[in-house]
Amino acid sequence: MNVDYIIVGLGLAGLAFAEELERNQKSFVVFEDNSQNSSLVAGGVYNPVILKRFTPVWDALDQLKIAIPFYKSLEKKLNSQFDFPIDIYRVFTSIEEQNNWFNACDKPFFEDYMIAEVVKNTNKYVNAPFGFGRITNTGKIDTKALLESYRGYLMGKGQLFNESFNYSLLELQNESVSYKNMNANQLVFCEGYGVVKNPYFKNVPLKEAKGELLTIHAPELKIDFMVKSSIFIMPLGDDYYKIGATFNWTDKTLHPTEEAKEELLSKLAKIITVPYKVVGQSAGIRPTVKDRRPILGRHSQYKQLAILNGLGTRGVMLAPKLAKQIYGHLEENQSLDAVIDISRFEL
Ligand SMILES: Cc1cc2nc3c(=O)[nH]c(=O)nc-3n(C[C@H](O)[C@H](O)[C@H](O)COP(=O)(O)OP(=O)(O)OC[C@H]3O[C@@H](n4cnc5c(N)ncnc54)[C@H](O)[C@@H]3O)c2cc1C
């Protein structure tokens, strides 16, 4: 079998790159072994405001310009809803925070997003005596539904192999690769944290940032916006809510822990005072780079190998733009921004 590309990994990065290839009529196959699940468990939130300090997320407006139409077109293609617009209500903890909010609202960057008013809390089960700051034009992508649907789509066309990519079977020719019975011009690794097992890119400075989330059922809570305090509360419908997320910089395992559950529940107790039942817990490792920027580019020695990784905490907004950038780099020799180019590291 001859293809233009082999992709390893079908999380958000692999999916966005596969889409970019398909739009450009390139042939490809994907290997996916379910060894990582960051994209499957992600909250899926897109939002251009850093909610701790009310500052802009790096490159967010440009990313959103590409990301929103990208997910809309996938909704059409796969005939399902994945993008759920929903406002975020940031809980204020003091008058000083309210003032900081109004100062930030004056900045042109935020004009389509931050609303210059203090929203009064009217829900007796939510603890927000200083009210909320409302961010609009935000939302969440149901990444699990999207990936499951996309995997089915590729499977149906015989382009997805549900198996581990075995690095030791990869053969490198001058300007192409062979793997089992396949030949490809290029191979793009999109393995998320799984890249630590990749002999060609194992030295990329990835810092594991394990995150855990709970799902609760709280029939009396009745909120139809996302609440952001030290954690977020995200309505899922039918009185279910996702609660998250934790950050653990040392645990490299994928299983949910009692410690994270306790941390989330104690933070939750400070925000809501309503009975609920925990009905689920999930965990994943965010592929986070030391300098908090993605990693894109070709291998320094083997030009037929490339990487698309380092999506960190914001894969939903980043993946579609990065997929375009790496495609332009590989196919049209466009240069990559220095801040995302793998060559910024000496590997
Ligand atoms: C708890 C949590 C909450 C999050 N919330 C948000 C959020 O609200 N908004 C947001 O934008 N981002 C969020 N993120 C971050 C987001 O999930 C990541 O940025 C993104 O999913 C990374 O995508 P990826 O494709 O690079 O990696 P992954 O999702 O890890 O995908 C890599 C894929 O490669 C596969 N793979 C690896 N090695 C191999 C191999 N050898 N052979 C075959 N397949 C292989 C893995 O199985 C996996 O499916 C969250 C993450 C976590 C953990």
Q: Is the CB of 9 under 6 A from ligand 1?
A: yes
Q: Is the CB of 41 under 6 A from ligand 1?
A: yes
Q: Which position has the token pair 């009975």?
A: 275
Which helix H or strand E contains 166, and what residues bound it? none
The rounded distance, in Å, linking the Cα atoms of 36 and 287 is 10
Q: Is the pLDDT of residue 207 over 90?
A: no
The rounded distance, in Å, linking the Cα atoms of 328 and 334 is 5
Q: Which of 72-81, 203-212, 278-287 has the lowest mean pLDDT?
A: 203-212
Q: Identify the band that residue 196 occupies on the pLDDT scale cut at 50, 70 and 90.
A: very high
For 129-156, write each residue's pLDDT tens digit: 999 999 999 999 999 999 999 999 999 9
Q: Is the pLDDT of residue 163 over 90?
A: yes
Q: What is the mean pLDDT of residues 310-339?
A: 97
SS3 sequence of 154-206: HHHCCCEECCCCCHHHEEECCCCEEECCEEEEEEEECCHHHHHHCCCCCCCCE
Mean pLDDT of the chain, nearest integer: 97
pLDDT at 188: 98
Q: Is the pLDDT of residue 245 over 90?
A: yes
Q: Is 147 helix (H, G, I), strand (E, B) or coil?
A: helix
State residue 152 phi and psi, 5-degree precision.
-65, -40
Say if CB 90 and CB 98 are below 8 A apart.
Answer: no
Q: Which position has the token pair 């003091």?
A: 94
Q: Is the pLDDT of residue 110 over 90?
A: yes
Q: Is the CB of 39 under 6 A from ligand 1?
A: yes
pLDDT at 347: 79
pLDDT at 346: 83
CA 145 – ligand 1 centroid, Å:
14
Q: What is the mean pLDDT of residues 295-323?
A: 97
Q: Is the pLDDT of residue 181 over 90?
A: yes
pLDDT at 208: 84
Closest CA to 295 of 312, 313, 280: 312
The rounded distance, in Å, linking the Cα atoms of 66 and 49 is 17
Paired with 31 in beta bridges are 8, 161
CB atoms within 10 A of CB 77: 13
Q: Please report the sign of the dihedral spanned by the C-alpha atoms of residue 52, residue 55, residue 57, residue 60.
A: positive
Closest CA to 25 of 3, 56, 7: 3
Say if CB 43 and CB 213 are below 8 A apart.
Answer: yes
The rounded distance, in Å, linking the Cα atoms of 100 and 343 is 38
The rounded distance, in Å, linking the Cα atoms of 74 and 182 is 28
pLDDT at 255: 95
Share of the chain above pLDDT 70, in %: 100
pLDDT at 191: 98
The rounded distance, in Å, linking the Cα atoms of 191 and 308 is 8
pLDDT at 306: 98
Helix 60-78 vs helix 12-23: angle between axes, to the nearest 10 degrees?
70
Atom of ligand 1 nearest to the CA of 167: 41
More confident residue, 155 or 207: 155
Q: pTM for the complete prediction?
A: 0.97
Atom of ligand 1 nearest to the CA of 213: 1
Q: Is the CB of 70 under 6 A from ligand 1?
A: no
Q: Is the CB of 32 under 6 A from ligand 1?
A: yes
Cis peptide bond upstream of 104, omega within 30? no
Q: Is the pLDDT of residue 99 over 90?
A: yes
Q: Is the pLDDT of residue 189 over 90?
A: yes
CA 57 → CA 23, 77, 120, distances in Å?
A: 28, 29, 26
pLDDT at 285: 97
CA 39 – ligand 1 centroid, Å:
4
The rounded distance, in Å, linking the Cα atoms of 327 and 200 is 20
Tokens of 223: 């909120």
Q: What is the mean pLDDT of residues 116-141?
A: 97
